[in-house]
Amino acid sequence: MTDYLILGADVLGNGPTDLVLRDGVIASLGADTAAPRDGVELVTIDATGLVALPGLVDLHTHVREPGREDAETVLTGSQAAARGGFTCVHAMANTEPVADTAGVVEQVWRLGREGGYCDVQPVGAVTVGLQGTQLAELGAMADSAAGVKVFSDDGKCVSDAVVMRRALEYVKAFDGVIAQHAQEPRLTEGAQMNEGPLSGELGLTGWPAVAEEAIIARDVLLAEHVGSRLHVCHLSTRGSVEIIRWAKSRGIDVTAEVTPHHLLLNDDLVRSYDPIYKVNPPLRSADDVEAVREGLADGTIDIVATDHAPHPMEDKECEWSAAAFGMLGLETALSVVQQTMVDTGRLTWEQVARAMSSKPAEIGRVANQGRPIAVGEPANIVLVDPSATRTIDPRDTASLSRNNPYAGLTLPGEVVATFLRGRATVRDRALVTPLVEGQVTA
């Protein structure tokens, strides 16, 4: 057991404070000294210049276990998460087999707890096998040890309006939420990149903004009609932001996320034909990037979620049309948000804590994550050095995959330490081996 005395951390960017982490909770806050306890190591950390945030919570991570453990396991995904400052991630359901039963979600949940780097909260599939036709056993997954609250067919859209309606109705009983991957399938058949002048120029089939916006418009109306909760995954266009803004002004219970890559990168990168930039939804225009930044700044977009999508080399290093969709995100998310939103004056650190910790925990109904930094709260904390810069090297990762779209870019900010219930998972930028291997902590 170790107690931590963290000196002079800039909590939420509101000024330096000392923190004591003890017995899994924040034991004291404010100028304080921790009296050493018999048999307990006391580690002092000089956190001058470091920002302390609540442990980050990702509502949208792909780990590839079960099924594609060559690309990512629950353990390696958890380690990448810890290195990115996360203490909780939601693991999407598009595994092999699909996480559409209590058995699979319990397995993923347990692997996360046994790894001990990060709480892994499984997302359940909405439909059996992500096939879009028959509702999965949503209630059984909710009642399982994993306590699933978020359901998504992510990777695929629940495109049938009746199935979507039934799913929204069903989850009301246990306060669940449907997280929609908004992609009208007929409008995106064979789509390879954002539809616009550039897709014509490059000769790649376009993914029109309307394919996303039409589903979001339909779904906010369905959510209103049945009085249920809707979450929109990885919103990426100006029109999508406008629809969410309108829905919220009407009082519809909808939340939305944006990914770091849609905050930073635009479709001009596709000129390289490098599949590292191939992602779904696609990188959009510079104007869309501006719109999602504005939407996040004004609260229309509630959260940042990574859509961390590991793929093995052979699925990405091939010709564009054959490559898999997706990019890594856990280890770079906070840096991208700092660059695009904090260093530009659009968000304070306190607002970052809301968008990347408390709000995603609230949407996912994870009671013990995303809590305030206050005495008695679980000691889930990340210490960030905002003055550091680093040049991104895809090999410097805990992930089993290397599909990092930021390779070679210099990004601000570095996670110095992450604490999960008072135990360091990362210190001085390196992973820390759990004290008790395979310990089930909660």
* Nearer Cβ to ligand DOR (326/413): 326
Closest distance of CB 433 from Zn ion, Å:
30
Residues 116-135 that bind ligand DOR (CB under 6 A): none
Tell me: does residue 22 bind ligand DOR (CB under 6 A).
no
Cβ–Cβ < 8 Å for 178, 228 = yes
Give yes or no for a cis peptide into 97 (omega within 30° of 0): yes
Tell me: does residue 213 bind Zn ion (CB under 5 A).
no
Residues 314-373 that bind ligand DOR (CB under 6 A): 325-326
Closest distance of CB 305 from ligand DOR, Å:
12
* Nearer Cβ to ligand DOR (22/181): 181
Residues 90-109: x/- map of binding to ligand DOR (CB under 6 A)?
Answer: ----x---------------
What's the CA gap between 430 and 295, in Å, rounded? 34
Among 12, 74, 105, 309, binds ligand DOR (CB under 6 A): 309
Residues 131-170 that bind ligand DOR (CB under 6 A): 154-155
Q: Side-chain half-sphere of 342: how many Cα atoms within 13 Å?
A: 24
Tell me: does residue 231 bind Zn ion (CB under 5 A).
no
What's the CA gap between 381 and 421, in Å, rounded? 8
What's the CA gap between 418 and 441, in Å, rounded? 17
307 is catalytic: yes
Cβ–Cβ < 8 Å for 292, 355 = no
Tell me: does residue 181 bind ligand DOR (CB under 6 A).
yes
Residue 338 DSSP symbol: I
Q: What are phi and psi of 216, to 5 degrees?
A: -65, -45
Cβ–Cβ < 8 Å for 102, 144 = yes
Among 181, 229, 278, 284, binds Zn ion (CB under 5 A): 181
- Evaluated on CA atoms 79, 366, 65, 159, the torsion sign reads negative
Pick the piece of the chain touching Zn ion (CB under 5 A) from 124-132, 150-158, 190-198, 420-428.
Answer: 150-158
* Nearer Cβ to Zn ion (267/307): 307
- From the candidates 10, 119, 154, 307, give the one annotated as an active-site residue: 307
For residue 139, give the amino acid letter: G
Q: Where are the beta strands (DSSP E) in 158-216?
A: 177-180, 193-194, 206-207
What's the CA gap between 62 and 433, in Å, rounded? 23
Q: Which residue is nearest to Zn ion (CB)?
A: 181
Cβ–Cβ < 8 Å for 9, 383 = yes
DSSP string for 324-335: PP-B--TTTHHH
* Nearer Cβ to Zn ion (90/181): 181
What's the CA gap between 242 and 297, in Å, rounded? 14
Closest distance of CB 162 from ligand DOR, Å:
22
Among 22, 62, 149, 371, binds ligand DOR (CB under 6 A): 62
Closest distance of CB 95 from ligand DOR, Å:
9
Binding-site ranges for ligand DOR (CB under 6 A): 62, 94, 154-155, 181, 279-280, 309, 325-326
Binding-site ranges for Zn ion (CB under 5 A): 154, 181, 307
Active-site residue set: 307
